[in-house]
């Protein structure tokens, strides 16, 4: 088999540029694993790539297959791969700088692959890699969150937010989350305080936090400076915070553009999942050919947890 079904873009633009079509099946290079995709997802990052916002950061070649999450079965391994074999059930972060996982097969560097959590099916395992790596980088690596600190997580019911809440609680932090109509979910996930941002300006209810995790940007980021304690940090995954404002406020800032060691971190995440300490929330499952609908739902900005694309039924 030299071709596969995939969702590709041939030009940047709205959701209508997504095409479900035949594409060349990836070949397996040195140190790579070819995964038969059982499930993948759509993240806001994918929408940004599709719209062309990430073209200045990554040297993409069109046509391009999107999709940074994959859970599936190893089809074959390339030269030099010793940790995986054909038939292994795995999950991984794919794409980002190359063709991704919104397809029947995806090639991934073996260092970015881990055995999937045994307690999850592929649909739920696929919901984790991208968002969990983002939350891990923000809270563990950058913030170095410690017990007793307070973290404010914006869009806490969304993809990154819902796992960030759980990770922050595991790290011993006091967690405040903002959402609109998903406050029940936030309390289920363990927040100490949930704020409905529609009815309550968060800056009137929150003060002296150690960490703000900004998953919204714009006006929400601008208003977040006021809630930080001196020396605190604003971390954003969506928009570079102003270094000048941070300095003037006596706080720190960080823009998320890197990930922790991917395979190693996903292995740690799998252990936490299998121990019952992290659980993904999947709000909707769509077939791969409805990827366009998933993009439209994501861009509506009121998703609960993750939207998953099923490739193998």
pLDDT tens column, 213-255: 999 999 999 999 999 999 999 999 999 999 999 999 999 999 9
Q: pLDDT of 159-204, one tens digit each?
A: 999 999 999 999 999 999 999 888 999 999 999 999 999 999 999 9
Spatial distance between the Cα atoms of 143 and 200, rounded to a whole number of angstroms: 26
Where residue 257 falls among pLDDT bands split at 50, 70, 90?
confident
Q: What is the pLDDT of residue 151?
A: 98
Do 239 and 285 belong to one domain? no
- In a domain, residue 14? The reply is yes
Which of 119, 23, 143 lies closest to 71 in space, CA to CA?
A: 119
DSSP, res 110:
G
CATH of the domain at 289: 3.90.180.10
Residues with Cβ within 8 Å of 231's Cβ and at least 6 positions away in sequence, in order, are 250, 251, 252
- In a domain, residue 275? The reply is no
- In a domain, residue 12? The reply is yes
Backbone angles phi, psi at 124, to 5 degrees: -85, -35
Which helix (H) or strand (E) covers residue 220, if one does? helix 218-224
Do 155 and 119 belong to one domain? no
- In a domain, residue 148? The reply is yes
Give strand pairing partners of 307.
284
Coil, strand or helix: which one is 302?
A: coil
Residue 169 corresponds to which tokens in the numbers above? 């609680």
Q: Which domain holds residue 9?
A: 3-127+280-310
Spatial distance between the Cα atoms of 307 and 301, rounded to a whole number of angstroms: 12
Spatial distance between the Cα atoms of 250 and 252, rounded to a whole number of angstroms: 7
Do 108 and 46 belong to one domain? yes
Q: How many domains does the chain have?
A: 2
- In a domain, residue 305? The reply is yes
- In a domain, residue 266? The reply is no
Do 241 and 300 belong to one domain? no
Which helix (H) or strand (E) covers residue 286, if one does? strand 282-287
Q: pLDDT of 295-312, one tens digit each?
A: 999 998 777 899 999 999
Q: pLDDT of 147-162, one tens digit each?
A: 999 999 999 999 999 9
Do 67 and 88 belong to one domain? yes
Do 191 and 230 belong to one domain? yes
| Span between the terminal Cα atoms of the chain, in Å | 20
Q: What is the pLDDT of residue 96?
A: 85
pTM, entire model: 0.96
DSSP, res 304:
-
Do 239 and 286 belong to one domain? no
- Would you say 173 and 151 are in contact if contact means Cβ atoms under 8 Å apart? yes
- Residue whose tokens read 């599709």: 50
Spatial distance between the Cα atoms of 220 and 97, rounded to a whole number of angstroms: 29
Do 115 and 22 belong to one domain? yes
CATH of the domain at 234: 3.40.50.720
Residues with Cβ within 8 Å of 291's Cβ and at least 6 positions away in sequence, in order, are 7, 18, 20, 42, 66, 102, 309
Do 138 and 120 belong to one domain? no
- In a domain, residue 68? The reply is yes
Do 36 and 54 belong to one domain? yes
- In a domain, residue 194? The reply is yes
């Amino acid at each position: 088999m030299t071709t596969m079904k995939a969702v590709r873009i041939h030009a940047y633009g709205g959701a209508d540029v997504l095409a479900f079509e035949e594409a060349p099946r990836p070949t397996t290079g040195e140190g790579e694993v070819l995964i038969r995709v059982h499930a993948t997802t759509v993240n806001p990052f994918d929408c940004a790539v599709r719209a062309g916002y990430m073209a200045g950061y990554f040297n993409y070649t069109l046509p391009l297959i999107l999709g940074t999450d994959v859970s599936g079965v190893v089809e074959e391994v390339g030269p030099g791969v010793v940790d995986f074999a054909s038939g292994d059930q795995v999950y991984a972060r794919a794409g980002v700088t190359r063709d991704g996982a919104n397809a029947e097969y995806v090639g991934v560097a073996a260092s970015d692959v881990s055995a999937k959590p045994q307690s999850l099916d592929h649909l739920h395992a696929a919901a984790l890699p991208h968002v969990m790596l983002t939350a891990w980088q923000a809270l563990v690596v950058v913030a170095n969150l410690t017990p007793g600190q307070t973290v404010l997580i914006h869009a806490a019911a969304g993809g990154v937010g819902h796992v960030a809440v759980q990770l922050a609680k595991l790290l011993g932090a006091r967690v405040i989350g903002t959402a609109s109509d998903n406050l029940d979910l936030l309390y289920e996930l363990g927040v100490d305080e949930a704020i409905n941002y529609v009815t309550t300006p968060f800056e009137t209810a929150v003060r002296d936090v150690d960490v703000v995790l900004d998953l919204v940007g714009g006006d929400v980021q601008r208003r977040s400076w006021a809630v930080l304690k001196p020396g605190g940090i604003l971390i954003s995954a969506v928009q570079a915070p102003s270094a000048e404002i941070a300095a003037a406020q006596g706080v720190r800032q960080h823009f998320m553009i890197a990930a922790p060691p991917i395979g190693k971190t996903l292995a740690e995440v799998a252990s936490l999942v299998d121990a019952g300490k992290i659980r993904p929330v999947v709000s909707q499952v769509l077939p791969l050919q409805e990827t366009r609908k998933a993009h439209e739902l994501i861009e509506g900005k009121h998703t609960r947890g993750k939207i998953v694309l099923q490739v193998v039924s």
